[in-house]
């Protein structure tokens, strides 16, 4: 499971990944080793990791700025003293291994979060660190935002850890409007972890952004072979169908979504579909589920407001729309809908 730097480089080359473009996310410098040794002290693996974990949350001992975005290798995170949960986990795993603890990264099995980029949805996977041989499934979580406890987690090997790093880096490049760079990272991720469905889905997103529609369809097909009801992939596939005027195919894709594992944004997409079909109560139910999963997501409150307008309940709609503006003051649709609600009946405006 654990690879030496030489073994890691050889495996990447064997799988067609250019090691000049991809840094090892778990490399340890001499300075990192000295810091880990000083913090971890003596004792067994759990004792050392507990001290290291506590130090990572103690600003006096180890000042570190949590960032929701910004994926770094262990070395970069150590130097910068900042990063997201994956960066933090990379650093912890690398430093923990340097003092002899058999620790690795694990992918959390839980409802995923998501965020919207234009008409596409990007899924956010959460990771923790775990002791490989711990009988009590001990884990170390570095997500400082409020979130549910892991319902289970799957330990990953070093190639999967690298694939996660590359997938996150690709998402960063996608947000920065560099789909060509993002595509290279996503493809490298699938080379290292062929069973990583979200990475295949992101290949589809990048290819679509680059105008390669057949390539996008092929990537979504590969993703769905691995996870047939993956909500984010089906939602993005539906978005692609709609952009091509293929409404029936879009509806079919959305109908295949397993709503028990859907992200908030996929629930909103499904709700929009029900609203367009005139099933207002069904749409509102989906919108409310999305709001329950992500209470601070302005789009969910706006969606509920839209449904209340259709139900001719303007007071409820105003309440939902004002809540959306509290969460996101610049939300254009919320402002426009409130303006329309407050417009005197019978007033006409030039187009």
Write b or e for each residue in 195-209: b if 16 or more Cβ atoms lie within 10 A of its Cβ, otherwise e: ebbbbbbbbbbbbbb
Instruction: State whether 173 and 203 are in the same domain.
Output: no
Domain end: 148, 178, 208, which one? 178
What average pLDDT does this structure show over 302-328? 95
Instruction: State whether 65 and 155 are in the same domain.
Output: yes
Residue 1 has pLDDT above 70, yes or no: no
Residue 39 has pLDDT above 80, yes or no: yes
What average pLDDT does this structure show over 42-71? 86
CB neighbour list of residue 105: distance below 8 Å, 6 or more residues apart: 89, 90, 93, 127, 128, 129, 130, 155, 156, 160, 161, 164
- 150 pLDDT band, cuts 50/70/90, is low
- 350 pLDDT band, cuts 50/70/90, is very low
CATH code of 13's domain: 3.10.620
Identify the domain containing residue 313 by its residue range. Answer: 263-342
Q: Are 168 and 185 in contact (CB under 8 A)?
A: no
Mean pLDDT score across all residues of the chain: 87
Instruction: State whether 33 and 165 are in the same domain.
Output: yes
Instruction: State whether 207 and 291 are in the same domain.
Output: no
pLDDT at 122: 61
Distinct helix (H) and strand (E) counts, the chain: 16, 8
Domain end: 259, 285, 300, which one? 259
pLDDT in tens, 83-130: 888 898 999 999 999 999 999 999 887 545 556 666 566 655 678 899
- 138 pLDDT band, cuts 50/70/90, is confident
Residue 67 has pLDDT above 50, yes or no: yes
Instruction: State whether 22 and 34 are in the same domain.
Output: yes
29/68: higher pLDDT = 29
CATH code of 216's domain: 1.25.40.10
Looking only at the bridges linking them, the beta strands covering 113-117 and 139-140 are unpaired
Domain end: 202, 237, 259, which one? 259
Instruction: State whether 228 and 334 are in the same domain.
Output: no
pLDDT in tens, 174-218: 889 999 999 999 999 999 999 999 899 999 999 999 999 999 999
Closest residue by Cα to residue 334 from 351, 317, 346: 317
Instruction: State whether 135 and 245 are in the same domain.
Output: no
Instruction: State whether 240 and 338 are in the same domain.
Output: no
Instruction: State whether 88 and 141 are in the same domain.
Output: yes
Identify the top-confidence range among 75-79, 243-247, 276-280: 75-79
Instruction: State whether 279 and 206 are in the same domain.
Output: no
Q: Are 8 and 74 in contact (CB under 8 A)?
A: no
Instruction: State whether 232 and 282 are in the same domain.
Output: no
E strand residue ranges, the chain: 65-66, 82-83, 103-108, 113-117, 120-124, 127-131, 139-140, 153-155
> Residue 176 has which token pair?
């920065």
Within-domain flag for 187: no
Within-domain flag for 49: yes
Whole-number Å distance between alpha carbons of 140 and 150: 11
Within-domain flag for 75: yes
Q: Are 48 and 100 in contact (CB under 8 A)?
A: yes
Within-domain flag for 314: yes
pLDDT at 113: 55
pLDDT at 348: 38
pLDDT at 219: 95
Instruction: State whether 335 and 236 are in the same domain.
Output: no
Within-domain flag for 183: no
The answer, as to whether pTM is greater than 0.85, is: no
- When divided into structural domains, the chain yields a total of 3
CB neighbour list of residue 331: distance below 8 Å, 6 or more residues apart: 298, 302, 324, 325
What average pLDDT does this structure show over 49-53? 93
Residues of the chain with pLDDT > 90, as a percent, come to 58
> Residue 217 has which token pair?
């369809």
Within-domain flag for 349: no
Q: Are 132 and 103 in contact (CB under 8 A)?
A: yes
10 Å Cβ neighbour count for 341? 15
Within-domain flag for 186: no
Within-domain flag for 22: yes
Whole-number Å distance between alpha carbons of 115 and 156: 25
């Amino acid at each position: 499971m654990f690879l030496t730097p030489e073994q890691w480089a050889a495996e990447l080359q064997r799988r067609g990944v250019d090691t000049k473009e991809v840094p090892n996310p778990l490399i340890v410098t001499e300075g990192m080793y000295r810091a880990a040794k000083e913090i971890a002290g003596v004792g067994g693996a759990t004792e050392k990791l507990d001290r290291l974990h506590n130090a990572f949350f103690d600003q006096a001992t180890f000042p570190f700025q949590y960032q929701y975005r910004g994926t770094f290798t262990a070395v970069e995170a150590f130097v910068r003293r900042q990063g997201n949960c994956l960066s933090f986990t990379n650093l912890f795993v690398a430093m923990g291994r340097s003092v002899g603890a058999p620790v690795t990264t694990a992918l959390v099995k839980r409802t995923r979060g998501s965020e919207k980029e234009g008409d596409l949805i990007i899924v956010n996977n959460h990771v923790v660190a775990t002791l490989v041989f711990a009988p009590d499934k001990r884990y170390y979580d570095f997500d400082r935002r409020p979130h549910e406890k892991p319902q289970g987690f799957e330990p990953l090997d070093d190639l999967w850890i690298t694939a996660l790093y590359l997938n996150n880096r690709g998402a960063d490049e996608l947000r920065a409007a560099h789909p060509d760079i993002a595509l290279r990272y996503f493809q490298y991720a699938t080379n290292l972890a062929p069973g990583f469905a979200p990475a295949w889905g992101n290949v589809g997103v990048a290819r679509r952004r680059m105008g390669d529609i057949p390539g996008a369809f092929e990537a979504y097909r590969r993703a769905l072979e691995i996870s047939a009801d993956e909500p984010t992939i089906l939602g993005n596939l539906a978005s692609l169908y709609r952009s091509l005027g293929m409404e029936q195919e879009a509806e079919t894709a959305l109908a295949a979504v397993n709503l028990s594992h859907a992200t908030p944004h996929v629930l909103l997409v499904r709700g929009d579909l029900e609203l367009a079909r005139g099933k207002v109560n069904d749409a509102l139910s989906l919108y409310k589920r999305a709001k329950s999963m992500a209470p601070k997501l302005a789009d969910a409150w706006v969606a509920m407001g839209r449904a209340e307008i259709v139900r001719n309940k303007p007071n409820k709609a105003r309440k939902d729309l004002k809540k959306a503006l509290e969460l996101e003051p610049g939300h254009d649709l919320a402002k426009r809908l409130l303006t329309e609600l407050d417009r005197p009946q019978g007033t006409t405006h030039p187009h």
